[in-house]
């Protein structure tokens, strides 16, 4: 069974309002052609876990390259 409600193109919608605000400010302040980086932050790992899996980076990178 496939889930047609979510496509790869929709993955960029999974972001916080803070990221959108930062992007807007960078653009308004003339930083639109300046490279920027963003970090993945995990506030607290459960004590029973010793690793983190981050999914979707490939799609995010491809999306940003095609802007």
Domain extent listing, the chain = 8-65
Give the global pTM.
Answer: 0.38
- What does the pLDDT read at residue 12? 62
CA distances for 31 relative to 14, 20, 28, 59, angstroms = 23, 14, 7, 24
Give tens-digit pLDDT for 8-59. Answer: 666 666 667 777 788 888 889 998 888 777 677 777 888 888 887 777 778 7
Residue of 62, 67, 65, 66 whose CA lies nearest to 8: 62
In this predicted structure, the answer to whether residue 1 has a pLDDT above a threshold of 60 is no
């Amino acid at each position: 069974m496939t889930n047609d409600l979510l496509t790869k193109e929709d993955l960029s919608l999974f972001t916080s309002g803070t990221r959108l605000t930062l992007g807007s400010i960078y653009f308004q302040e003339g930083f639109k052609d300046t490279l920027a980086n963003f970090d993945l932050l995990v506030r607290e790992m459960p004590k029973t876990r010793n690793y983190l899996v981050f999914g979707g980076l490939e799609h995010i990178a491809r999306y940003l390259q095609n802007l």
